[in-house]
Amino acid sequence: QATETILGIETSCDETAAAIVVRDADGTGRIVSNVVRSQLDEHAAFGGVVPELAARAHVAWLDHIIAQATAEAGIALKDVDAVAATAGPGLIGGVLVGLTTAKALAAALGKPLVAVNHLEAHALTARLTNGVAFPYLMLLVSGGHSQFVLVCGVGDYERWGTTIDDALGEAFDKVAKLLSLGHPGGPEVEKAALKGDSRRFRFPRPLLHENRLDFSFSGLKTAVRLAAESIAPITDQDAWDIAAGFQRAVTDIIGTRTRQALERFSMEFPGQQARIVVAGGVAANKAIGAALREVTQAAGAELVIPPPALCTDNGAMVAWAGAERLALGDTDRLDFVARPRWPL
């Protein structure tokens, strides 16, 4: 196998991103350029991502972002060996912008297209950053997803648990909104929680008593809302205490479920080093990171948290998933249809 250079395109949410990644003959990868333009400012006034605005911003910016990615890599478009783009799941308008651009480039350059599942891209990132070997567990906690996935190989995934209502990042964002802490809410709730007393409010841990690896965050969010509404007027200290109580419930939930997932991993793969990789924007949360370190250490498992810029949405993860698929000869036809929903 030869060295291959892949262009990766990501437009499934509110990041317009493109990257050049090289996969060497020995299967290791390196990021040559990784350009991300966040649309935070476009959506800030609305307190969340507005799909139509997101799609229009991708149209306006994607060409420039791709040009910047190739320029920073010091290559021309004709030098890429394949074009990879997120083809779902995600906001369909944005996905169509990225996928259609990738198809046009692939057709014009005469190079293969790889239509990448966004979740697969998150799942394989730890192989790019840390060379993690199969099998391993992935905990994906982002604004759109909260799930445990067993990763056995490229294209070989088994979902062990998911959220039955809100995603964890979404819960952080809604709690931030309830407490008027700003958007995106995750980092704001984390900051507020540092100043709060996590024992003042005792919030529920929905579903945690059930013997399954699923999550539920909507009841927790409602409890937070009721607590906030029970105090009027609400002071800064009240908001900080509520944020701290919320975050403590979340770290309990994530810690417990991760311990259970690692137990299952050890039962299914006896004698095998247990490994878990974390992906998604919520992986940046330090309290959650500390809880994960504690349970993985106790279980003798290996914990891999890629750098924050590669945990959140980016083009390098899409390029890398494209590289892994290309190495297996697994490319897609130009009539590949974008998928708003696409479970692994």
- The binder of 143, among Zn ion, ligand KG4, none, by C-beta within 5 to 8 A per type, is ligand KG4
Q: Does the annotation list 335 as a binding residue?
A: no
Instruction: Establish if 120 lies at the interface with Zn ion (CB under 5 A).
Output: no
| Interacting residues with ligand KG4 (CB under 6 A) | 13, 142-144, 169-170, 172-173, 184-187, 190, 280-282, 284-285, 312-313
Asked if residue 58 belongs to a known ligand binding site, the reply is no
Q: Between 6 and 116, whose beta carbon lies closer to Zn ion?
A: 116
What, of Zn ion, ligand KG4, none, does residue 185 touch, CB below 5 to 8 Å by kind? ligand KG4
Instruction: Give the one entry of Zn ion, ligand KG4, none that residue 184 binds, where binding means its C-beta sits below a cut-off of 5 to 8 angstroms depending on kind.
Output: ligand KG4
171-191 per-residue burial string, b: 16 or more CB within 10 A, e: under 16: bbbbbbbbbebbbbbbbbbbe
Residue 186 annotated as lining a ligand binding site: yes
- Cα(52)–Cα(48) distance, rounded to whole angstroms? 12
**What minimum distance in Å lies between the beta carbon of 114 and Zn ion?**
17
Q: Is 259 exposed, middle or buried (0-12, 13-18, 19+ CB in 10 A)?
A: middle
Report d(CA 150, CA 166) in Å as an integer: 21
Task: Say how far apart CA 188 and CA 184 lie, in whole Å.
Answer: 7
Beta-bridge partner residues of 162: 147
Shortest CB 75 distance to ligand KG4, Å? 27
Residue 140 in marked binding region: yes
Q: Which range of residues in 41-49, 100-108, 226-234, 313-321 is near Zn ion by CB under 5 A?
A: 313-321
Instruction: Specify the residue, 140 or 299, whose C-beta has the smaller distance to ligand KG4.
Output: 140
Say whether 34 sits in a helix, a strand or coil.
Answer: strand
Residue 118 counted as an annotated binding residue: yes
**Token digits for 126?**
């730890």
170: contact with Zn ion by CB under 5 A: no
Q: Tell me how far, at minimum, the Cβ of 198 lies from Zn ion, in Å.
A: 28
Category of 34 on φ-ψ map: left (φ > 0), alpha (ψ -120 to 50) or beta: beta
Q: 189 or 274, CB closer to ligand KG4? A: 189
> Of 4, 241, 313, 324, which one interacts with Zn ion (CB under 5 A)?
313
Distance CA 146, CA 169 (A): 8
Tally of helices (H runs) and strands (E runs) in the chain: 11, 10
Query: Per the annotation, does 197 bind a ligand?
Result: no
DSSP three-state, residue 159: strand
- Is 209 or 341 the residue whose CB approaches ligand KG4 more closely? 341
Q: Which residue has the tokens 């790889």?
A: 114
Give 48 or 135: the residue with its C-beta nearer to ligand KG4.
48
Look at residue 10 and give the partner it binds from Zn ion, ligand KG4, none, a contact being a CB closer than 5 to 8 Å depending on partner kind: none
User: Residue 184: which of 166, 165, 169 has the closest Cα?
Assistant: 169
| Nearest residue to 84 (alpha-carbon basis) of 335, 344, 324 | 324
In the complex, the smallest distance separating the C-beta of residue 280 from Zn ion, rounded to whole angstroms, is 6
Q: Is residue 141 within 8 Å of 283, Cβ to Cβ?
A: yes
Name the minimum Å distance from CB 12 to Zn ion. 7
Nearer to ligand KG4, 98 or 280 (CB): 280
Which of the listed partners (ligand KG4, Zn ion, none) does 88 bind, with a CB threshold of 5 to 8 Å by partner kind? none
User: Annotation-wise, does 95 bind a ligand?
Assistant: no
Q: What phi and psi values does residue 303 have, to the nearest 5 degrees?
A: -115, 130
Q: How is residue 273 written in tokens?
A: 């080093």
How many C-beta neighbours within 10 Å does residue 229 have?
Answer: 10
Query: Quick one: which segment of 29-37, 179-187, 229-237, 305-313 binds Zn ion (CB under 5 A)?
Result: 305-313
User: Which amino acid appears at position 217 of this protein?
Assistant: F
Please check if 155 is assigned to a binding site: no
**Do strands 275-279 and 136-141 pair parallel, antiparallel, or not at all (unpaired)?**
parallel
Q: Which residues of the chain form contacts with Zn ion (CB under 5 A)? A: 142, 313
Binding site as annotated, residues for substrate? 140-144, 173, 186, 190, 285
Binding site as annotated, residues for Fe cation? 118, 122, 313
Binding site as annotated, residues? 118, 122, 140-144, 173, 186, 190, 285, 313
